[in-house]
Amino acid sequence: MDRTRALLISLAAPEPHRCYLCERESILGEDGLCDGCRNELKLAISPAPPVGLDGLTAGLQYSEELATVFYRFKSKERSDYTPFLAQFISIPEEWHAEMLLPVPLHWWRQYQRTYNQSYLLAEYVSSRYGIPICSELLTRVRPTPQQKLLKEKDRRRNLKGAFRAAPECKGRSIVLIDDVVTTGSTLSECARTLKKAGAYRVYAACVACTNR
């Protein structure tokens, strides 16, 4: 079989993608999951927003299986996971969202990772809802130790003064986009900084959250 014929066959009948969770099964639904993994996932039910936020949505409850997925997404340059994860982010109409704001990384962390995973998610959410991304509204001005390495009380102290908001956020209804909510310290500090600069409402829409 020559290469041209092989290419035509592959385009006509592409190989099925492996499940995003187990990376073994290849019989998938539209969500990119095999039946077994789909049954393991649990939906997040009305998660309580962290302090300072006016609302929070998260599609899934955080789990060990999802931890593996997020590790691949953030640490193994698996940006191909973006569409799969972004499908679980939702924005209620009653938020009257004017702009999406990916939770920023410090420039050095982004250089090491090569991309901001929250920005990739925001791009998909923006295309689905028609809400513009305004990533310049919030900047991470100093590097901080990874939150997962700290206790809850230390996380709040770790983030104090880590962000700077632009004056253009004044009077705006803003939705922060992030992958996972654990203690909510990062989102709380982002909201506090934005509201101090005059933001009208600050919400957050994420893929998953823990039971806080």
Q: Which two tokens stand for residue 75?
A: 């640490």
Least Cα distance to 43 among 64, 29, 58 occurs for 58
More confidently predicted of 91 and 149: 91
pLDDT-derived band at 24, boundaries 50, 70, 90: confident
Report the DSSP pairing between strands 138-140 and 163-165: antiparallel
User: Which domains does the chain possess?
Assistant: 1-40 (no CATH), 41-209 (3.40.50)
Residue type, 168: E
Element (H, E) at 4: helix 3-12
pTM for the complete prediction?
A: 0.85
pLDDT in tens, 121-148: 999 999 999 999 999 999 998 877 665 5
pLDDT digits 0-9 by tens, 54-105: 999 999 999 988 999 999 998 888 899 999 999 999 999 999 999 999 999 9
Secondary structure of residue 188 in the 3-state scheme: helix
